[in-house]
Chain A
């Protein structure tokens, strides 16, 4: 088993899911409560990674991060080294790739809240931030947990984006799924199997936790 690859994948998944939560909370709040008619545009952008082949996403991420891309040039100017084929580049691409898995459960749980509770909070003088912290978050916590866990699991197993943006650098960008691919190519089926089975079990356990916590929140299965 390639411990280095496993640790790298864990580090990537933890970083991405934590960062995603920070970005997704305000984004989901806005998507839930805005009255702007064009919000479907943002909804579509957020949902794109659900339908796009990861290679497409990875391809454009690579272009943007490359020496001629805006992001790549900005990064080079700020930090003095290129962004593509680095851990940071991997994190940025993964943020987009796993975005819907964080935003959608949050939106679903915010939307299921009784709006009158927020009205009551406002009438009682609470600012939007206080309402968010004291009312929305505590009542939407299953959605928050689901968002965290799903984006963690999704990032843990990504392949196409990593391959496009990260390449295959041991300890930097060689994640579990790349490792499995490499070993299979090298006909090391036993090694591939060990890692693949681990990923399978971890993903299963994570999903079981999510669905065990709350069936009402976002799930590909019909509501019961």
Chain B
């Protein structure tokens, strides 16, 4: 990896900003520790806007931002450091490689202040660290997607930034390549311990990075925690969609059984579900989110199950997606259900087959923001 000087003391990036736009307001208050923080949210949630504010490309209306003792922005004291002075590494979603400069010139662009010898040495280290030595004289238009992403990372990291902002930097790469680049990044950061903000709306990337996660919705900070904890139990429609919940079902609470910790919900179309007790009252319109992979299928009426929700329906359509089959099943409303190829074969599922859907109570998630969609 890119060999670095002695490890720096790890610093925290503290952000407490607000910025108004015609369509929404960005409002974020969070301390980003050293290491990876995934910023997760649907497109348009304000993720790139947040990064632009941190980088100094956009100026917030209110608040403060500081890295350790160094203030980047303070609205009260009318202080706003220019991007040039913040010493931040930012890998844009579009990568923004300079198309007229070679890979080597791109990587050396941020090292203008250094002597020729130092610059040369750092460029060579960066090229090696990201396994792109062979590309030094090529220009960005001649590179593959993965190569461009490596060059963009190398260009940002070679300047030894104090904060690293990554805006969906590995989107479109296959899992193997993504893991290998992430591994390079982790090794690089082991010696540096700087805050790294990793923006994505891709569930696979979240799992690959796998550290702290914050969610952003309509410019507001949502939940904070470990990725699987936050994303496996979304609380809003937007987040559930972004986290890949295929079934978002509107319904009405008909009965609360406080003693059992559950409540009964009637979905549009008449099907009834038992879901965990939530902060709603009887009669409230709500949304229930269920993963397509959390629904079991049976071709006969199942007996003696612990699962409380068994719905009768019929297969409407089947679609093969890689190693699994996505079925649309009409049971009052249309559910999306995912099964393996083998399971679909064994059950001899075809369009029109009568089936029973089995859903555990705790696979049903109550969402806030039920008025949306």
Contact = CB atoms under 8 A, between A and B. Distances in A.
Interface of A: 114, 116-117, 119-127, 130, 134-135, 138-139
B96 A138 contact: no
Contacts of A120: 90, 92, 96-98
15 contacts: A114-B96, A116-B92, A116-B94, A119-B92, A120-B98, A122-B83, A123-B56, A123-B86, A123-B90, A124-B110, A125-B110, A125-B112, A125-B159, A134-B98, A138-B100
Contact of A122 (B84, B99, B100): B84
Nearest to B152: A120
Contacts of B348: none
B205 to A, nearest CB: 21
A94 to B, nearest CB: 33
A139 B100 contact: yes
Given A121-B109, A122-B83, A139 B92 contact: no
Interface in B287-324: none
Given A114-B94, A116-B92, A117-B98, A123 B55 contact: yes
Contact of A119 (B83, B86, B109, B156): B83
A139 B87 CA distance: 25
Given A116-B92, A119-B57, A120-B92, A126 B98 contact: no
A121 B83 CA distance: 9
A51 to B, nearest CB: 34
Contacts of A116: 92, 94, 96
Contacts of A127: 84
A96 to B, nearest CB: 34
A64 B82 CA distance: 43
Given A116-B92, A116-B96, A117-B96, A122 B159 contact: no
B109 A139 contact: no
A139 B57 contact: no
B227 to A, nearest CB: 27
Interface in B84-135: 84, 86-90, 92, 94, 96-100, 109-110, 112-113
Interface string B1-15: 000000000000000
Contact of A130 (B55, B82, B98, B112): B112
B155 interface: yes
B99 A119 contact: no
Contacts of A139: 99-100
Given A119-B57, A121-B109, A126 B96 contact: no
Nearest to A125: B84
Contact of A126 (B52, B57, B84, B89): B84
A194 B100 CA distance: 45
Nearest to A119: B57
Contacts of B110: 124-126
B109 A123 contact: no
Interface in B199-220: none
B159 A124 contact: yes
A126 to B, nearest CB: 7
* Residue among A114, A123, A127, A139 with max Cβ neighbours from chain B (10 Å): A123
B57 A122 contact: yes
Contacts of B88: 123
Contacts of B87: 125
B166 to A, nearest CB: 13
A117 B88 CA distance: 15
Interface string B138-165: 0000000000000000011001000000
B106 to A, nearest CB: 9
Contacts of B92: 116, 119-120
A121 B97 CA distance: 10
B142 to A, nearest CB: 17
B350 to A, nearest CB: 50
Nearest to A124: B110
Contacts of B113: 125
Contacts of B83: 119, 122-123
A123 B55 CA distance: 7
A68 to B, nearest CB: 48
Contacts of A122: 56-57, 82-84
Contacts of B100: 138-139
A126 B112 contact: yes
Given A134-B109, A138-B100, 17 more contacts: A116-B92, A117-B98, A119-B83, A119-B96, A121-B109, A122-B56, A122-B82, A123-B57, A123-B86, A123-B90, A124-B155, A125-B84, A125-B87, A125-B159, A126-B109, A126-B112, A127-B84
